[in-house]
Structure 1
Amino acid sequence: MNVIIAALAPDPPPSPLLDLPTELIVRILARLPCPALLACRLANRSFCTLIDADTSLQYTVELYAAGAVDNPASRHVLADRLRILKERERAWHRLEFSRIAQIQVPHNPSSIYDLTGGMFLLGESYSRLLPAWRSTDATRSINLRAALKANSTADALDGPWAHIDIHSKIMDVGIAAQEHDLIAIVTYSYTLANELLADLRIHLIKLSSGGHHPAASQPVLQVPRMPFFPGHCSVSIEIVGDTLGVLFNSSRLLNARGDATPAVSFYVYNWKTGKLKFTRTANGPHYNAFCFLSPDVIVLPNITARSLELCSLSVPEGSSEDPAPLQTLCSLALPQITSSTLLHRIWCRAEPNALATCNGTFADAPFFSDPARAVIIFNVVAQDLLNGTLHYLSLVVHRSSLLARLELAPQLSPASSPAMQPPRVEWAEWGPPACVWLDGDGLAIRWITVTCGQRLVVMSRESPAPILIYDFNPRAVARRTHAARARGRLVRESAHSDLECDGGGAKTVFLRRAALLSTVFEEPVRSEMGYSVTETREEYDYESVMMDEGVLIGVRLDTEADNIESLVLHAVGPVA
């Protein structure tokens, strides 16, 4: 009866909004957030026709589905941006490469590297020692997108590699190319060589010129003296907006010396003014790395407590300490490990990095992955104390999921003591709906630059092997499963997964939930977050593989010294 009544009911009256001129309606719709725009498209046939016919509104919808944001600095016209976006997403889904080209590494590489915003950086050593013992004397970098565009018909690319040498030994680098055209180079020089005490400095360099950055009032930041020895200490440095954070971990060196000096030192600066804003020290191995969730929130993986600490970089009102102690607002527990397991390291990374402004130097890319919706990867190294075996695991979670959990946590008052224990959320409460654990024991995971936006790339250690692309974008996964179902190409493999059989160059498995069985954890670790895995049909003979915007990078090593010999670029979709 209800169906009959609904069928006889009159159509809803037309919206008065439709009486306005079409150009004005488009301008109104363009101001809506994309979910509201899609609701309008479903609610009214006239709205649907208008949205489907307008390039700017279609571009908004496609950006939202792809997890990307527009680049206001791009010179591409709107129609080209929409075309490039659609073609690139189609190429990602099918793992189709518009071209493959190789870049030779012409210098003697060190262990320092980075990959961000289309730029690959690799340290240079003037020493001929084995890679593990080489110091870093300079940096070399190459713009991958520019190299591909400039050599569109060549199979082998020669560069050019930009060179920066500040005539000091380099510990590590941090890059904010998109926002500030900035590279921060951390250097060391021994003051008491017999005690391995080093003076540390952070040089603020304009990436495009190699000179000191004009926005920095102090071109070099002096860091408090601390123990340092290459290979026994680690550095993590990140830059977002005016904030530069740098973390030093000397636990391996200090344990060997029996020193009581704090093993971990964390400093947060305003790099433009040179002011030190926050500090934290710890006497245990506690921290290896950190990552920005937003311009004023970071995540610190705590090895000792086996948790992710969410910390605010906003100075509490009424605080009289200068610099202020870094405060943990919330602690998210990791799954319980077995009594015979020891955690050694937890590294983390998200690409693109969080942005404080979109008015930076994004070159000519028409769009880029949305930092707010990007995933963070936490690479965990654990050891089985019974047999000495090392295990490698990766935890993947969206930035937005961690920030949402922070919003649910009770807030500490400005007068709270730094010694107060922050709220702790157990793994079972926050982890399964938001995270995916991957077993990395059989994967080539030498590099952490394997994510961009909401995608992750891996391949087996045993090469040749196919390349696997994990996609954690829920909207893209839902769109693809719906399209595959409509074409009759979706095959149920189990209660938790479906296989897309498209007959093309790749095959895709859609997973609705998964479980990791590992001897590291006391029980299987469940993941409720859906994702897809697409595998190339072709196999590749690479040591490992990395990922950036619109490109996969296969790494080839020489056979003698285990050096990076060349990078093989796989352009996904148009080279824009």
Structure 2
Amino acid sequence: MAEPDTLAVEEPFRLLDVPPELLIHILSFLPTESLSACRNSSRFLNECINDSVELQYLIARTAAGVTDHPSAPHPITDRLTMLHARENAFKQATPSWVRSIAVPFPTSGLYEVSAGFFFLGEEDRQALRYVELPSEPAPPGAPPLEWGRIPISDPQAKIIDFGLAIAEHDLVVVATFTPTGRITQGIPEGLITLEPFTMSSSHQPHPRARAIQVRTSTWGHPSVIVEIVGDYMVFVESYRYRILEEEPRPADHVYVYDWRTGRIVKTIEAESGTYFAAVFLSPEVLLLPNTITATMELWDLQSEQTTPALTLHLPRLVPGQTLTVITARGEPNPSVYTPRTLPRAPFASAVEDSIIIFHINFLAAQFLLFIHRRALLALLAQHAAGESCDYANWGPDMCRWLDAAGMNMAWITTTAGQRCVLLLARQTSPFFVLDFNPHNVRIDRQHCIPPEADQFADHGIWAEAVGSRLACHLTRSPNQFELYRGVSLDDERVIAFRRNPLRHISVVDVFYYGIA
């Protein structure tokens, strides 16, 4: 009888035997903390990670708090180079180049920065103007950049605000007030309408959206806000200024529409002078700062609940102190759908990491407040629906407060991602860049604003300690700039503007932070 065959002993499988291309692909699924551990555990893995452009780009993206745009036409080596150049330029608050854009039309108080475009309103409020912000310096002899125009058709109507969802829906919604001809005690009656247009070159009525007649106002045109995310369009209507002191003002309303059908999904009503801002924290969660109650209301738009899902109290006020207005903004907005056009940049600030800015106004004082979007959403997840939370139990560790005395507060479009740009309200001022990215705070603590236990104790405004422990990196530009009357910020640029003697914006200077 033949003896049985001897069983072969197989070598154990080792991760390091995997082909390099497959190993890099496997490592790309790890969080950056695990990649760092791999680098420290093996010389081979350290070299593999250091030599991989894909993994270096992943690490750089995570550190910068940006998301990748796979459809953008940039090779990965260029993406990494562009990201490093942008981060270094902002870290030093030193632009790579500056380009001026003339404003050849009288302007109104309408403005916005979104999706690489800068918008202004015409003085007669019959049209919006926009310019595509440059991503390269002007070549010698280049013609001036041209302003596009989105007009409304009714010569009697006036634009009172507008909302944008350019990348997601190619959508511009213009809120208009059209007088009916009736005047009661000196107050004009008018129809409030939301008109949808395409952002693409023809600027025709949007084929998938419906124009909405909100209602007829007997109190003149209101102060309004328009925000669009996914299928929702939020319209905030407030009459902040009392025309006849003896008459009560109408209530504030927040209407949540399905912008495609015009159907009202949710209506929120409050005392006059309550709401002056709306911010989408996520596609389903809306933040409404409440000026009357000094709170932040988080509303679940998918719930039938008629009260906020969570109410966050601001610090208690000293008796006799009254808030006048709270406004807020977060950029970028969240999105639901894939962008309809190819993005110009290969990456963009991550929505979930972005900062929310609040302008908090009293009769004789102004303050800035910064909170991470993800921190607010985490609070919502930690509380049962309908709960409220005192400031001492949520705010000090999550907030950064700044006294805005002496700052230029003309516009609120001063944040992008985790950065904010500030300008002093004087003839000559540098740009100040605040960075709330925890990675940048950690690697350069000597330029961070220290935490404050109660920085406004002597202001006589708050009746409790206003803790301010959210870490923040501060950089100031090496140059002083003259005669700027306001600034805005997007992912790549500081946009500063000058006014002429008639107080119209006459010149926009674009400071680019990236590859020269």
Equivalents in 2 of 1:100, 1:550: separation in Å? 12
Aligned to 2:497: 555
Give the one of 119, 122, 128 matched to 1:121.
119
Relative to structure 2, which stretch is displaced further, 187-196 or 329-338?
A: 187-196
| 1:73–1:364 contact (8 Å) kept in structure 2 | no
Count of aligned pairs: 494
Q: Tell me the distance in 2 between the aligned counterparts of 1:212 and 1:296.
A: 26
Task: State the 1:109 CA deviation.
Answer: 0.5
Residues of 2 paired with 1:39 and 1:234: CA distance? 53
Q: Give 1:539 deviation, angstroms.
A: 0.6
Kindly state the Cα deviation for residue 326 of structure 1 after the two structures are TM-superposed. Answer: 4.7
- Deviation, structure 1 residue 190: 2.4
Give the one of 345, 350, 368 matched to 1:365.
345
Gaps of 5+ in 2: 1-11
The 3 A distance-change label for structure 1 pair 90 and 295 is same
Q: What is residue 480 of structure 2 aligned with on the other side?
A: 539
After superposition, where does 1:96-495 map in structure 2 within 5 Å? Answer: 96-126=94-124, 136-145=125-134, 148-149=135-136, 151-153=138-140, 158-167=144-153, 168-191=157-180, 193-195=182-184, 196-209=188-201, 210-216=203-209, 218=210, 220-230=211-221, 233-253=222-242, 256=245, 258-259=247-248, 261=250, 263-316=251-304, 326-361=306-341, 363-383=343-363, 390-411=364-385, 422-481=386-445
Q: Which has the higher helix share?
A: 1
Q: Is 187-196 or 102-111 further displaced after alignment?
A: 187-196
- Partner in structure 2 of residue 133 of structure 1: none
Please give the secondary structure, in 1, of the residue aligned with 2:200.
coil
Q: For residues 39 and 246 of structure 2, what CA distance do their matches in structure 1 show? A: 67
CA contact (8 A) 2:256 2:266 kept: yes
- Residue deviations 1:314-361 (CA, integer Å, cap 9, x gap): 144xxxxxxxx6530111110122223211100000111112234343
Matched letter for residue 478 of structure 2? R
Aligned AA (2:136): K
Partner of 2:8: none
What do the CA deviations read for 1:387-416 (whole angstroms, capped 9, x no partner)? xxx2111110010010000001113xxxxx
TM-score, with length taken from structure 2: 0.91
Query: Corresponding residue for 1:516?
Result: 455
Aligned-CA RMSD value: 2.1
Distance across 2 between alignment mates of 1:99 and 1:43: 42
Look up the SS of the partner of 1:280 in the other structure: strand
SS at match of 1:267: strand
Contact 2:242 2:249 in 1 (8 A): no
Deviations 1:203-232 (A, max 9, x none): 11111231122232x2x12213234435xx
Partner of 1:52: 50
SS of alignment partner, residue 549 of structure 1: coil
Partner of 1:570: 511
Report how far residue 480 of structure 1 moved: 3.4
The one-letter amino acid of 1:194's match is I
The CA distance in 2 between the partners of 1:270 and 1:104, in whole Å, is 38
- 2:214 match: secondary structure: strand
Q: TM-score under structure 1 normalisation?
A: 0.82
Q: Residue type matched to 2:487 in 1?
A: V
Shift of 1:280: 1.1
Superposed displacement of residue 362, structure 1: 5.2
Percent of matched pairs sharing the same residue: 32
Q: Which letter maps to 2:462?
A: F
**Within 2, Cα distance between the matches of 1:569 and 1:118?**
12
Alignment deviations for residues 56-85 of structure 1 (CA, whole Å, 9 cap, x no partner): 111111011001111223111111000000
Cα offsets for 1:16-47 (capped at 9, x unmatched)? 32222211111112223444434433444332
Give distance in 2, aligned partners of 1:315 and 1:331: 15
